[in-house]
Amino acid sequence: MSDDYQPQSAVAKWIDKRLPIVTLFSGHLMQFPTPKNLNYWWTFGGILTFCLITQIITGLVLAMHYIADANLAFASVEHIMRDVNYGWLLRYIHATGASMFFIAVYLHMARSLFYGSYKEPRELIWIIGVFIFLLMVATAFMGYVLPWGQMSFWGATVITNLFSAVPFFGEAITNWLWGDYSVSGALLTRFFTLHYLMPFLIFGLVILHIWALHVPGNNNPEGIDVVKGQDTVPFHPHYVVKDVLALVVFMIIFAGFVFFSPNILGHSDNYIQANPLQTPEHIVPEWYFLPFYAILRAIPDKLGGVIAMVSAIAILAFIPWLDSSKVRSCKYRPLYRQFYWILIIDFIVLGYLGAQPATGIYLILGRLATLYYFLHFILVMPLIGYIEKPKPLPKSISEPVLSKEEQLAKSGQMA
C-alpha cells in the first residue's frame, strides 16, 4: 500500500534497515486492511489482549507479596488484603480479572462459532485458540489453588484425583503430581511455579494466533471473502477506535465488579484456611468451569466422566472438519442457526446444573444436556451441511448494507 510506513529521519532509517520493528508494527497494527463491516462482536480480541496483560501485571505485583508455602500462603493473602498498600485492589483486579477473561473468551468463541470463523482458511487460528483456552483453564485452576483456602484445597484434591482414573498408573500419576501421598505444600509450590509460567506461554500462543489471523485477514459478519482495498479499511484509526470504545465499556463493567461486589464471583468458603481433615459441604468450581464440571458429573463412571470432560474441550479442535457446510456465517444458514442457539442455551444450562447438587432431576437434566453438547458437534454439524439450503450469499460485503439503505430511502419516500 502507498501509505506504508516509510522511515523519515536518518536514525529511523538506520534502525529500520537493521531491525524493521516499526515497519512490522505499523503494518500489522496500523495499515492492516480490515473488512469494513466488522461489528462489536469483533472487539473481543482486543479485550482479551487487555485481560491477559492485566492478569500478567497484577499477578507479577501479587507475587511480590505472596508466599507459596502451605503454612504461610493463606496468611500472606490476608496480608495482601489488609497490609499491602492497595493490596486489596490488586488482588480483586486479579481475581475478578480471571472471571472477566473467561466472559470475554466465551463471547469470542461464540462469535467464531456463529460467523464460521473456524472454517477454511482460518482452521489453524481456531485450533491455536482452543489451545489458548486449554492453557487458560489450567492457569485459572492453579491460580485458584494458591490462596490455600478450603475451596482451593478441595478443588485441587478433586481435580488432581481425576488423574487417578487412569487405568493401572492412576495412583503413581497422582502421587507424582502431588509430590506426596495427598495434596500438600509440595503441590502448592509447583502450582505457583506453573501458574507464573503459563500466562507467558499463552502470550506466545496469542502472537501465533494473531500471526495466523493476519495471513488470510479477518472473517466478517457476512462470512464471504473480501476484496482488499474496496472492502477494507486500515485497522488504525477505524478499528482502534472501535476496539477502544468496546474496551472502555468492558472496563466499566470490570470496575463495577472490582469496586462493588468483588466476591460475588468467588466462593465464601475460600476465606476459610485449608483443612485436610474436613471437606466443605458443597464443592463447586469457579463459575467458568461449571459447564465442564456438569459434564464430568453426568457420566456415572469415574474414567468415563474424565474422558467426557476432556473430550468436551478437545472436540472443539475438530470443528473445522465436523462442520460440512461451505457457508461460513449463520446469517445465511437458517437451519443451523437454530441449532447454534440451542447449543448456546445448552451450554448455559450445563453451567447452571454444574452449580446444583448432582441428584434427582438435576442429574437427569445434566445427562440430557451433556448428550446434546456432544451430539451437536458429532451429528448436527456434519449432517446439516448436507440438509440445509443456505440463503443466497451477497456478492460483496457492501450489498446488504446498501440494499438496507435503499429500502430505508424507499420507506422514507412513502411516509
Partner 1 sequence: MDTKKDIDAADAKVTRRDFLYLTTGSFTAVGAGALAWPFISQMNPDASVKALASTEVDLSPIMPGQSITILWRGKPVFVRRRTEEEIAEAQAVEQIDLPDPETDETRVQKPEWLVMVGVCTHLGCIPLGNKGEYNGWFCPCHGSHYDTSGRIRKGPAPKNLEIPNYVFLNDNTIKIG
Binding site for partner 1 (CB under 8 A): 57, 61, 64-65, 79, 82-87, 89-90
CB of 209 closer than 8 Å to CB of 28: no
Q: Which is nearer to partner 1, 80 or 98 (CB)?
A: 80
CB of 257 closer than 8 Å to CB of 363: no
Integer Cα distance of 230 and 350 in angstroms: 44
- Quick one: which of 239, 182, 168, 188 has its CA closest to 70? 188
Integer Cα distance of 74 and 81 in angstroms: 11
Integer Cα distance of 102 and 87 in angstroms: 23
Cβ 92 to partner 1 shortest distance, Å: 11
Q: Which is nearer to partner 1, 21 or 245 (CB)?
A: 245
Integer Cα distance of 213 and 216 in angstroms: 6
Cβ 390 to partner 1 shortest distance, Å: 44
- Quick one: which of 391, 316, 49 has its CA closest to 205? 49
Coil, strand, or helix at residue 234?
Answer: strand
Question: Which residue is associated with the grid cell 463459575?
Answer: 287
Cβ 146 to partner 1 shortest distance, Å: 18
Q: Which is nearer to partner 1, 211 or 259 (CB)?
A: 259
**DSSP tag of 232:** E
- Quick one: which of 322, 345, 325 has its CA closest to 333? 325
Cβ 250 to partner 1 shortest distance, Å: 15
Residue 234 main-chain phi, psi, to 5 deg = -65, 145
Q: How many CA atoms lie within 13 A of 333 on its CB side?
A: 27
Cβ 65 to partner 1 shortest distance, Å: 7
Residue 117 main-chain phi, psi, to 5 deg = -70, -5
Q: Which is nearer to partner 1, 252 or 414 (CB)?
A: 252
Angle 196-246-400 (CA atoms, 0-180°, nearest 5)? Answer: 125
CB of 187 closer than 8 Å to CB of 178: yes
Cβ 9 to partner 1 shortest distance, Å: 25
Cβ 53 to partner 1 shortest distance, Å: 12
Q: Which is nearer to partner 1, 242 or 331 (CB)?
A: 242
Q: Which is nearer to partner 1, 58 or 117 (CB)?
A: 58
Cβ 244 to partner 1 shortest distance, Å: 10
Cβ 84 to partner 1 shortest distance, Å: 5
Q: Which is nearer to partner 1, 97 or 116 (CB)?
A: 97
C-alpha cell at 170: 492412576
Integer Cα distance of 112 and 220 in angstroms: 10
H/E segment holding residue 34: strand 33-35
Q: Which is nearer to partner 1, 46 or 223 (CB)?
A: 46
Q: Which is nearer to partner 1, 69 or 225 (CB)?
A: 69
